[in-house]
Structure 1
Amino acid sequence: MSNLERLKKGRAAKSIMLAGLRGVGKTVLLDQMMRDAIGEGGLLAIRIEAPEGRSLPALLAPKLRLALLKLSQIEAAKDYAVRGLRALAGFASKLKVTYGDIEVGLDYDIEPGPADNGDLEGDLTALLEQVGIAGKAADSLVAIFIDELQYVEEQQLAALISALHRCAQSQLPVTVIGAGLPQLRGRMGEAKTYAERLFDFPSIGPLGDIDARDAIEKPIHDEGAEITEDAVQQIIAFTHGFPYFLQEWGKHAWDVAQKSPITKDDVENASATAVADLDESFFQVRFDRLTPAEKKYLRAMAELGPGPHRSGEIASVLGRDSTSLAPTRSNLIVKGMI
């Protein structure tokens, strides 16, 4: 029985956090999980992407409003959902002072008490409890799918974990399925020490040889073409099974090849354009957002060659003390660059 099925039946189950580097397919998996869950029925899904610079309350408030409005259309859950909408009004009103980016339509007047104390952790807990009560009355699981979760600030992450903990204790049908960079597990543990008891953290990484081969060969075969064995092996060697890179090398090898089958020479000729495309798209956009100090740190790390490298080694290249570079290193990890 899956975690979602257990929660639908009112049984204990952990929420899920997909963790992995950029380009391994976390977002694709997250969206497929949402589609599969919706297809099974008995689920109300909320989909959120957490960009840099936006607060979690601002992202959650309008989505929870829509969920509560849907629940209010179910007779058995109507009164609980309306109370949730009143709690949401208090939540948004009080926390707007702290989080100025909260913008949400208010359908009912504030109900004093449940979620209007101005304390994010307590208010979010009260609000998600009310959502869970309405979901339970509607015989529906409320699943919040959140991408790029590593961008949520620690205090806000702690509030979300605390709220989910309370819902779990009360056996309410509320869960979070999230995705983020590898540091997500550590950040959640720092936010709340009991986080690992509440979440499963499946690691999403490169494809094995069999799956990487399928990813290369199937699209080519679907178009009525072929690729040689040594060409497949060369793509796998270049990409190390990294899903996004497999797509890039496959695309460029297809474009370079003049006829079927695609050969090893075609793959080698395509590598220059594949790397150039990655430099201009996959890496360049993120690199341009770095500070000069962060770019210098990356340059120093690159000069050491293939890693991993100790922080002290990078500091030596820069002629700095490793302690003084700790904030720069931390920022680069948060931004997903190292």
Structure 2
Amino acid sequence: MDPIRNPYAPGAGQRPPELAGRDRELEQFEVTLERVAAGRPERSMVLSGLRGVGKTVLLNALRGQAVKRAWGTGKIEARPDQGLRVPVAQAVHAAVREVAHRHRDPDRVDEVAGVLKSFALQASLDDRRAASRAGARWTPPVDVPAARGRADSGDLELDLVELFSDVAGLAGDLGVGVAVFVDEMQDVAPAELAALCGACHEISQQGAPLVVVGAGLPHLPVALAGAKSYAERLFRYVSVDRLPREMADRAWRRPAAEEGVAFEQDALDELYRLTDGYPYFVQAYGKVTWDAALGSPITIADVREAAPDAEAELAVGFFGARFDRATPAERDYMTAMADLGAEHGDGAIATADVARHLGRKPQSLSPARDGLIKKGLVFSGERGSVAFTVPHFGQFLRSR
């Protein structure tokens, strides 16, 4: 069929034409926005799940809801080698811009802008090494002097509280709020994660109209709980998982129907068998199946003809690129995990079993395991175990 009309979108963070299976999360966030804007207590939200399940897509959809309600919004993507202060300052600057032009008191806007500049300037003083990193010297492009004695103490938690409080107050003057979205939240350094949790806790106690929405790998709730003991009560945790059969069918059928195309039932059966309902795979297999099909309805033969193309594309871009980032020792570690997964079912693998499989002492494998965790290839949901962050990764390694 016409590839130009192909409705499927297997891109990183790219919203599919049909955001199936996420209605509940979207409805919950609508309630959160309403309650916070009305001054009622509500928790911030954390999304967690494997790669390819649509966390970033959902995060962007939630941000879109806030934008529609005229909230100020900003988004950052955390990185292991970057401090939190500058990205937060940039995100908050974006949020302030979205509400400032509607505010009737320019002096009030300038006052908040000065606090933001003060917060950002503190980055190079927080860590002298940070001053040489890209972006560490960023300051808001506003023609106001930095405030003194506000958000400039050098204590990140205290400074975040003061910044968030002032920015939320500016939005509150307009009857709206501010939402800060943090992708790859598990990559925030533990001390800074604790500071962010502490600031969220204080802001929620103040009843200020500001929420933080985070997204990250499955061990993010554990990391937050380790940062602050009350984090388990601070956020509403949402596990983003693969789509149930009904929702996967919806993700294939509805976009196709808008183009006048239908699926035979056995074609949908085969697609679900191949993808297990993982959203990225749903889009990837849907796209190549559309291109291979000669017409409507799409048949199981079309799916089977297209499947090798999807597998080849995933092997290079989704799986292979990740495997190539690993060192030889890390590849050995992952291969051992895959071998053990074939015996016991892909999922969490005991680190002691990996060591036994490789004929090594567990301590000698710590550098490889830690390197894989830092690269986001595996995660440790509980002490003494590891699992792949990418669905079907064990299958991919075994197929090599």
Whether TM-score is above 0.5 comes out as yes
TM-score (norm 2): 0.78
The answer on whether the counterparts of 1:48 and 1:59 sit within 8 Å (CA) in structure 2 is yes
Work out the CA distance in 2 between the residues paired with 1:139 and 1:251. 43
Residue 193 (structure 1) aligns with: 229
Helix, strand or coil at the partner of 1:197: helix
Q: Among residues 90, 95, 103, which one is paired with 1:67 in the alignment?
A: 95
| 2:182 partner SS | strand
Counterparts in 2 of 1:110-129, with a 5 A limit? 110-129=146-165
Q: Which residue of 2 aligns with 1:320?
A: 360
Q: 1:95 to 1:260 in 2, by over 3 A?
A: closer
Secondary structure of the corresponding residue to residue 50 of structure 2: coil
How many Å separate the matches in 1 of 2:97 and 2:275?
46
Change beyond 3 A, Cα 1:46–1:77: farther
| 2:346 paired with 1:307 | yes
- Paired residue for 2:52? 23
* Other-structure match for 2:61: 32
Q: Structure 2: how far apart are the matches of 1:321 and 1:269?
A: 46
Q: Which residue of 1 aligns with 2:21?
A: none
Report the equivalent of 1:336: 376
- Does the 8 A contact of 2:72 with 2:94 survive in 1? no
Q: Residues 12 and 168 of structure 1 are in contact (CA less than 8 Å); yes or no, is this contact kept in structure 2?
A: yes
Distance 1:263 1:323, change over 3 A: same
1:68 and 1:78 mapped to 2: Cα distance? 12
Secondary structure in structure 2 of the residue aligned to 1:96: helix
Identify the residue that residue 10 of structure 1 maps to in structure 2. Answer: 39
The CA RMSD measured in Å over matched residues stands at 2.2
Q: CA deviation at 1:124?
A: 1.9
SS in 2 for 1:31: helix
Q: How far apart are 1:8 and its partner, in Å?
A: 0.2
| Match status 1:228 vs 2:233 | no
TM-score of the two chains, using structure 1 as the length reference: 0.91
Deviation at 1:19, TM superposition (A): 1.1
Whether 1:104 aligns to 2:132 is no
CA distance in 2, matches of 1:110, 1:220: 54
Q: Which runs of 5+ in 2 are unaligned?
A: 1-29, 378-387, 389-400
Unmatched 5+ residue regions in structure 1? Answer: none
**Do structure 1's residue 147 and structure 2's residue 183 form an aligned pair?**
yes
Contact 1:183 1:333 in 2 (8 A): no
The number of residue pairs the alignment matches comes to 337
How far is 1:13 from its partner? 0.1
Once the two structures are overlaid, the 10-residue window that deviates more, 249-258 or 153-162, is: 249-258
How far apart are residue 172 of structure 1 and its match?
A: 0.9
Partner secondary structure for residue 2 of structure 1: helix
Q: Which residue of 2 aligns with 1:131?
A: 167
1:2-27 deviations in Å (ceiling 9; x for gaps): 11111101110000111111111112
Change in CA separation of 1:328 and 1:5 when aligned onto 2, cut-off 3 Å: farther
Matched residue type, 1:128: F
Contact 1:68 1:82 (8 Å CA) reproduced: no
Residue equivalent to 1:86? 114
Where does residue 13 of structure 2 map in the other structure?
A: none
SS of the aligned residue for 1:201 comes to strand
